[in-house]
Chains A and B, each alone.
Chain A
Amino acid sequence: MSRKYRVVHETSYKYVADVMHSHHLLHLVPRPAPYQQCLEHEIQIEPATHRRVDQLDAFGNPLVRIELAQPHRELTVTSRMQIEVHARPAVSPETTDPWEKVRDAFAYRGAWPSRDQLDAARFRHESPHVRVKQSFTDYSAACFTEGRPILACAEALSTKLHADISYAPGVTTISTSPTEVLESRRGVCQDFAHFMISCLRSRGLPARYVSGYLRTNATQGEGGEKLVGDAASHAWVSVWSPPYGWIEFDPTNGCFAGTDHIAVAWGRDFGDVSPLRGVILGGADHQLSVTVRVEPEGEPN
């Protein structure tokens, strides 16, 4: 099964005073993945950029750097794409490796690790938005019982987060630490993702942050509950689950990622893949508005 989408992601900054000069990094071009194929993509930037450089970042995501050299009071970046998302192969959680085995496979023995193993090793540590702490290990203790397969653990953890944490736009910011979310039990998709990643990495398990979009007004299963996280970009988690490899979970909705999820980039945490990051000179205060429209094209086939 697959689904085609048209996505329009518009970010606009309105500044109180002139911005004299600015540099921005854009993670807006969707990266290729086995389960998705970008058919068309363009980025429009107003005002005209002084420079634009396209490259890949250290995690293999397409990265666009732009520089604006003329004074401006407004910046609008519009990313448009047509993309096809395929259903992911079915997985049976019970057949994955026990979580302790997954962890211990990373123990250093002086031997050559596999390419995949070394790649996954990049996602096992603290990073600017992810904490490694005993409190996360304690929080997830019930999900990680002895000898339980990793994917079953991750699924239980994703379900637990979905149940424990209330989706509450506006109470957290991009700099909210997962330790605060552990206290407040409130947040948005980013916080769910950083929290789940903190729980996994605190146990020495690799986990990636995935940034992307979610089909809005979708429901989970037949007559299921409506997926949340609409009208903006979405974030979820990818868990290293041998023998399958990386398997994606959406803890905000307590489900696996599927044809409703369009991935753009992944990294250690939000900081590696934030859609639009920048440093401006001037501008004083600013007003930010972000709109995302995810429109399915035709019926799933």
Chain B
Amino acid sequence: MRAVLEPADLRRYDELNDPAGAMRAHWRPLIGRLRADDSPDAVRRSLELTRRLIVENGVTYNVYADPQGADRPWALDPLPFVLPAAEWKAIEAGVAQRARMLNALLADLYGPQRLLAEGHLPAELPFGHPNYLWPCHDLRPADGTWLHVYAADLARAPDGRWWLLADRTQAPSGAGYALENREILEQVHPEAIPDMAVRRVRGFFSHLRERMQLDHKEWAAGDESPLAVILTPGPYNETYFEHAYLARQLGMPLVEGHDLTVRGDTVYLKTLGGLRRVHSILRRLDDDYCDPLELRGDSALGVPGLIGALRAGRVIVSNALGTGVLESAAWLGFLPPIAERLIGETLSLPEIATWWLGEKPALEYVLANLDRLVIKPTYPNQRFEPMFGRDFEGKARDLLIERLRNRPYAYVAQEHVRLSQAPVWKSAATAELGARALTIRVYAVNTPEGVRVMPGGLARVANEAAADVVSTQRGGGAKDIWVLSDNPHEDTLTQGQTGKWANLQRQDYIPSRLVENLFWLGRYAVRCENTSRLLLRTLGARSDARVWTHARNICRDLGAVSPDAEVFDALRTRDSQGLQADIRHLAWCASQVRNRLSARYWRGVVGLQRQMQEAMATRGSSREVYERVLLSLAALTGFSEEDMMHDEGWRVMRLGRRIERMQFVASILVRQLRSRHATHPETVEWLLDVCDSTPIYRARYLGVPRLSQMLNLLLYDDGHPMALAFHRRSIDRDLDDLARSLKGERERGVPDVPLLPQGSAELLDAQGEEGDAARAGLAEELEDLSARAGDLSDRVSRRYFALIEPDAHALAT
């Protein structure tokens, strides 16, 4: 490992080396350790381990602009960003102070508005901002706090000081990624972290969790412990991975807007076991989307009536609705003078030099110094990228100036900061360090005992050395931040309290919407399996004309292909029914319950969709496609057994599987019994294949396959996982378990598998009228059984998912 940066850019601060070219002291232990194992192999191992852990843990970041709409794997540099203890203390104090000051500012803006009345702030800043929410004016949160979670974006200027770039007050993202980064680097550098006394970041999350589950006096209901949930916009959000990860880490249910309902100013979660009161909501949804009744009426993501509940003091939302108003560069510059007024302190963290153009002198100054300034919007709904003044010449410059003069209050100018450069691991091939522009995001949580700052955070690097804008959306990478400790006992208290939250009492209320999707995920997985095997075995029977006709008819009867399509074309036509549609449904259900699935389950689902797309695009062998689909589905079944909590949700999913399988086996037997080829050994053999029962049959019976023996196996053998009796028993067990864990009445199962009348086995195999009558009689009974299984499915839906209401929509006259 040669710790050599690329030619140093002297106009930027070099994080690794001092101006004399000597490595800074706080980097030496880490670089020295890496240098000890200088082989390219060691570097490659670290890079590969990091990548593998990211994939295995399913760390992703959704990119809106990505045409594939795909999740992008999180790009993490195995080399952390190191900060010495003394430097960190200054950052920590500055961030905590800022969090207190911003909370006081919000209290004023949403309360008496004294700062506006006294002329300390221009009215344009709050009143022109789309996230200044008038319905929240004079709404004092039940806990008196607006800003519970705060993040500051910082950068180091060439003078070596850390400067504040931006405040994140809406619903700061990235803390979960920071924890995930740490968990990965703990495995990449297992010894370096303890040896170098790197401070732990987990304590921050227990502070956050405790903050969310605070018991407030106003809630003196006393009968239940406070329930806190995380509100997400859903799986299509760019940081959904983080929402799911935080939900798991904090032990809080992850919910979407329609999982919550407001009744009489109280917020409830719709769970499998009924309505459960929600006391606090950690929102990852922008504030203006949170209540379609009083805020944006076009929002399908929010909770109608939430503001009413907030007004009544019945729920706490973190951060309070309306905190998004502070997300504007325009506030910078006004804050240092008012900090004195708000908290009686001088801000210790300097802000990047900022001019709001609404002030005449500021406008003139900015126009005179345009070349060294960056122009940014005052309000987030002005959609334009930062404009570097030096890039505008001639006519374009005149137009820019006209734009600024026409509406000066809508623009902000900032000094162009040359970001410091941090070492990054470039590639396995060279074992050399590169240099990248860097910013850091530091997190704080406001607790009753004061503001706690996470000793670490999320460092982000640009994808080029001299960039001065760092953005994850634009493909930069992340780094873990290692804050070195000068006090070995620093984090022990929080560690002792929480450890890995060994004594965490999980409040695992599963939203009923999730459970319904799990139920259908189970059903669709089995349906896809049934259809694939049916089509696969049918294609395998083409050589025998009698079986081929028999099998094709059954395929159409059961909807595996549409009535006018051919079996060998099943993959080429895009139908609303059939395998492709079922895989789409399966993927949709899976996406809705993604945070309950393991990473490899989700990858399996993505792979399954890809297989189908490829199959449609190419003219390969259909049989091979079905074989592969069956393998993938078998893997999913295995993952759901191995990776998932065997809780109520899982049980309902299995119930879905059993019901689906029972209906399929019963239905296909009905078709067989009613076919004029019912007793034909080749069709019996085909059916055994379709039901994946040939090996078991062969183990039981010798000789030519017979209908009666096959029925004996598929009806009554409760040790055979395809048999109806097996499913019936399993369904009963799941219903028992559900009734027990939800403490409710047990749902009725399905009736017994119809018995074959004494001595009728021979009749079933017989030709002629008597045989036909026996088969028709059994077919009727099995048809009834299949209908009863469908009935159970409806009953389960009514009973357990009844809280799932139709979609909300907004009305206005």
B377 at the interface (CB under 8 A from A): no
Contact B124 A128 (CB under 8 A): no
- Interface pick from A93-101, A142-150, A236-244, A283-291: A283-291
A300 at the interface (CB under 8 A from B): no
Contact B119 A113 (CB under 8 A): yes
Instruction: Please pick, from B128, B138, B358, B811, the residue contacting A13 in the complex, using a CB distance under 8 A.
Output: B811
Contact B293 A25 (CB under 8 A): yes
Q: What CA separation (Å) do A235 and B812 show in the bound complex?
A: 15
Quick one: CB contact mask for B261-293 with A, threshold 8 Å, 1 for yes? Answer: 111110000000000000000000000000011
A278 at the interface (CB under 8 A from B): yes
Contact B128 A23 (CB under 8 A): no
Instruction: Mark out the residues of chain A between 68 and 122 whose CB falls within 8 Å of any chain B CB in the assembled complex.
Output: 69, 106-113, 115, 118, 121-122
Given the known A-B contacts A23-B293, A65-B308, A67-B264, are A279 and B360 also in contact in the complex, defined by CB atoms under 8 Å? no
Contact A23 B261 (CB under 8 A): no
Given the known A-B contacts A58-B138, A107-B360, A108-B124, are A11 and B813 also in contact in the complex, defined by CB atoms under 8 Å? yes
Contact B305 A67 (CB under 8 A): yes
CB distance from B300 to the nearest CB of A (A): 10
A141 at the interface (CB under 8 A from B): no
- Interface pick from B22-30, B219-227, B627-635, B801-809: B801-809
Q: Report A-chain residues with C-beta under 8 Å of the C-beta of B127.
A: 121-122, 124-125
Instruction: Please pick, from A112, A134, A277, the residue contacting B119 in the complex, using a CB distance under 8 A.
Output: A112
Q: What CA separation (Å) do A137 and B360 show in the bound complex?
A: 21
Contact B809 A25 (CB under 8 A): no
Contact B359 A108 (CB under 8 A): yes
The interface size of chain A toward B, counting residues with CB under 8 Å, comes to 56
Q: What CA separation (Å) do A129 and B501 show in the bound complex?
A: 49
B721 at the interface (CB under 8 A from A): no
Quick one: CB contact mask for B93-119 with A, threshold 8 Å, 1 for yes? Answer: 000000000000000000001001111
A177 at the interface (CB under 8 A from B): no
Contact A274 B308 (CB under 8 A): no
B86 at the interface (CB under 8 A from A): no
Which residue among B119, B264, B359 has the maximum number of chain A CB atoms within 10 Å of its CB? B119
Q: Report A-chain residues with C-beta under 8 Å of the C-beta of B128.
A: 124-126
Instruction: Mark out the residues of chain A between 266 and 292 whose CB falls within 8 Å of any chain B CB in the assembled complex.
Output: 268, 271-272, 274-284, 286, 288, 290
Contact B134 A59 (CB under 8 A): yes
B386 at the interface (CB under 8 A from A): no
Given the known A-B contacts A11-B813, A23-B305, A112-B117, are A280 and B264 also in contact in the complex, defined by CB atoms under 8 Å? no
Contact B406 A134 (CB under 8 A): yes
CB distance from A114 to the nearest CB of B (A): 10
Contact A278 B124 (CB under 8 A): no
Please name the residue on chain B nearest to A276 by beta carbon: B813
Contact B305 A276 (CB under 8 A): no
Instruction: Mark out the residues of chain A between 161 and 185 whose CB falls within 8 Å of any chain B CB in the assembled complex.
Output: 174-175
Given the known A-B contacts A23-B262, A279-B810, are A57 and B135 also in contact in the complex, defined by CB atoms under 8 Å? yes
Please name the residue on chain A nearest to B382 by beta carbon: A126
Given the known A-B contacts A23-B293, A69-B263, A279-B293, are A125 and B811 also in contact in the complex, defined by CB atoms under 8 Å? no
Quick one: CB contact mask for A37-69 with B, threshold 8 Å, 1 for yes? Answer: 000000000000011010001110000010101
The interface size of chain B toward A, counting residues with CB under 8 Å, comes to 46
Contact B812 A58 (CB under 8 A): no
Contact B811 A50 (CB under 8 A): no
Contact A21 B811 (CB under 8 A): no
Quick one: CB contact mask for B38-78 with A, threshold 8 Å, 1 for yes? Answer: 00000000000000000000000000000000000000000
Please name the residue on chain B nearest to A115 by beta carbon: B117
B606 at the interface (CB under 8 A from A): no
Contact B808 A281 (CB under 8 A): yes
B467 at the interface (CB under 8 A from A): no
CB distance from B297 to the nearest CB of A (A): 7
Please name the residue on chain A nearest to B118 by beta carbon: A112
Q: What CA separation (Å) do A50 and B305 show in the bound complex?
A: 14
Contact B137 A274 (CB under 8 A): no
Contact B805 A290 (CB under 8 A): no
CB distance from B213 to the nearest CB of A (A): 27
Q: What CA separation (Å) do A284 and B806 show in the bound complex?
A: 8
Q: Report A-chain residues with C-beta under 8 Å of the C-beta of B297.
A: 271, 277, 279
B407 at the interface (CB under 8 A from A): yes
Q: What CA separation (Å) do A280 and B123 show in the bound complex?
A: 36
Q: Report A-chain residues with C-beta under 8 Å of the C-beta of B292.
A: 279
CB distance from B321 to the nearest CB of A (A): 13
A218 at the interface (CB under 8 A from B): no
Q: What CA separation (Å) do A235 and B118 show in the bound complex?
A: 34
B676 at the interface (CB under 8 A from A): no
Q: What CA separation (Å) do A67 and B308 show in the bound complex?
A: 11
Q: Report A-chain residues with C-beta under 8 Å of the C-beta of B137.
A: 58
Contact B805 A282 (CB under 8 A): yes
B304 at the interface (CB under 8 A from A): yes
Contact B119 A111 (CB under 8 A): yes
Please name the residue on chain A nearest to B121 by beta carbon: A108
Q: Report B-chain residues with C-beta under 8 Å of the C-beta of A59.
A: 134
Please name the residue on chain B nearest to A272 by beta carbon: B134
Q: What CA separation (Å) do A59 and B809 show in the bound complex?
A: 26
B122 at the interface (CB under 8 A from A): yes
Instruction: Please pick, from B113, B120, B261, the residue contacting A21 in the complex, using a CB distance under 8 A.
Output: B261
A132 at the interface (CB under 8 A from B): yes
Q: Report B-chain residues with C-beta under 8 Å of the C-beta of A121.
A: 123-124, 127
Given the known A-B contacts A23-B305, A53-B308, A290-B813, are A118 and B805 also in contact in the complex, defined by CB atoms under 8 Å? no
Contact A118 B806 (CB under 8 A): no
Contact A51 B264 (CB under 8 A): yes
Q: Report B-chain residues with C-beta under 8 Å of the C-beta of A128.
A: 296
Q: Report A-chain residues with C-beta under 8 Å of the C-beta of B124.
A: 108, 121, 124-125
CB distance from B5 to the nearest CB of A (A): 45
Instruction: Please pick, from A23, A25, A132, A281, the residue contacting B407 in the complex, using a CB distance under 8 A.
Output: A132
Contact B811 A277 (CB under 8 A): yes
Instruction: Mark out the residues of chain A between 128 and 161 whose CB falls within 8 Å of any chain B CB in the assembled complex.
Output: 128, 132, 134, 137
Instruction: Mark out the residues of chain B between 7 and 23 whose CB falls within 8 Å of any chain A CB in the assembled complex.
Output: none
B294 at the interface (CB under 8 A from A): yes
Q: What CA separation (Å) do A20 and B116 show in the bound complex?
A: 44
Contact A279 B809 (CB under 8 A): yes
Contact B805 A280 (CB under 8 A): no
Q: What CA separation (Å) do A125 and B293 show in the bound complex?
A: 22
Please name the residue on chain B nearest to A274 by beta carbon: B812
Q: Report B-chain residues with C-beta under 8 Å of the C-beta of A175.
A: 298
Q: Report A-chain residues with C-beta under 8 Å of the C-beta of B305.
A: 23, 67, 279
CB distance from B382 to the nearest CB of A (A): 9
Q: What CA separation (Å) do A265 and B269 show in the bound complex?
A: 35
Q: Report B-chain residues with C-beta under 8 Å of the C-beta of A50.
A: 264
Q: Report B-chain residues with C-beta under 8 Å of the C-beta of A284.
A: 806
Please name the residue on chain A nearest to B403 by beta carbon: A134
Given the known A-B contacts A58-B135, A125-B128, are A118 and B123 also in contact in the complex, defined by CB atoms under 8 Å? yes
Instruction: Mark out the residues of chain B between 125 and 171 whose CB falls within 8 Å of any chain A CB in the assembled complex.
Output: 127-128, 130, 134-135, 137-138
Q: Report A-chain residues with C-beta under 8 Å of the C-beta of B810.
A: 277-279
Q: Report B-chain residues with C-beta under 8 Å of the C-beta of A109.
A: 119, 359
30 contacts between A and B (CB under 8 A): A20-B805, A21-B263, A21-B805, A23-B293, A24-B811, A25-B294, A57-B134, A58-B138, A65-B308, A69-B264, A109-B359, A110-B119, A113-B123, A122-B123, A126-B128, A126-B130, A132-B407, A134-B406, A274-B813, A277-B293, A278-B810, A279-B292, A279-B810, A281-B806, A281-B807, A283-B806, A284-B806, A286-B811, A288-B811, A288-B813
Given contacts A67-B264, A276-B813, A282-B805, 7 further A-B contacts (CB under 8 A): A67-B305, A109-B119, A125-B124, A274-B813, A278-B811, A280-B811, A282-B806
Q: Which residues of A contact B (CB under 8 A)?
A: 11, 13, 17, 20-21, 23-25, 50-51, 53, 57-59, 65, 67, 69, 106-113, 115, 118, 121-122, 124-126, 128, 132, 134, 137, 174-175, 233, 268, 271-272, 274-284, 286, 288, 290
**Nearest 3 interchain pairs by C-beta:** A108-B122, A279-B304, A121-B123
Q: Which residues of B contact A (CB under 8 A)?
A: 113, 116-120, 122-124, 127-128, 130, 134-135, 137-138, 261-265, 292-294, 296-298, 304-305, 308, 358-360, 379, 381, 406-407, 805-813
